[in-house]
Amino acid sequence: MHSARMMMTLAVALIIFLSLPLSWAQDQSKRTDADSAAIKQVVAGFIGDFNSLFAGRLGNAHRTLTVRNVRFLSPEIASVDINYELTRVKAPDGSTTPPREGFYDWTLVKQNGHWLIAILHESNIAPDPALGPPR
């Protein structure tokens, strides 16, 4: 009798214990989905500003961004990998350079409910042909 009661108590405790991570994971998924969407809005805002801000060689330039990955390092810190293509850049002679590709690695922090870019690292996959060979 004592053994059956103990087994029943353990079974109930095990069921409760095992259901907690599932509930947490579902809540975490909802939160990260909303945060991922908010982060993608930050990316869209950034590129919208870029495409309307620059003059000179970049006056007619257009940059297209594609978010490859969003990783949450904590509920308030995210790492974002982004590919970009830059088109319609003018060379010093006035001709249009070929499209260039590159990538961004961003770290965003959530402050007061808003995602902000804390670190932005940009890398070109190939050097800008208009600048000539490296010195």
In tens, the pLDDT along 11-59 reads: 555 455 544 444 444 455 566 788 889 988 888 888 777 777 666 777 8
| Mean of per-residue pLDDT scores for the chain | 78
In tens, the pLDDT along 78-94 reads: 999 999 999 998 888 88
DSSP secondary structure string, 27-90? Answer: HHHHHHHHHHHHHHHHHHHHHHHHHHH--GGGTT-EEEEEEEEEEEEETTEEEEEEEEEEE-PB
Residue, of 75 and 26, whose pLDDT is higher: 75
In a domain, 7, yes or no: no
In a domain, 87, yes or no: yes
Here the CATH number for the domain that contains residue 88 is 3.10.450.50
Tell whether the model's pLDDT for residue 119 goes beyond 90: yes
User: What pLDDT was estimated at residue 117?
Assistant: 94
Mean pLDDT of 101-129: 89
In a domain, 2, yes or no: no
User: What pLDDT was estimated at residue 91?
Assistant: 86
State how many domains the chain has.
Answer: 1
In a domain, 96, yes or no: yes
In a domain, 110, yes or no: yes
Q: What distance in Å separates the CA atoms of residue 38 and residue 98, rounded to the nearest whole number?
A: 32
Residues 85, 90, 92, 98, Cα dihedral to 10°: 50
Contact (Cβ atoms closer than 8 angstroms) between residue 77 and residue 35: no
Look up the domain containing 96 and give its range.
32-128
In a domain, 43, yes or no: yes
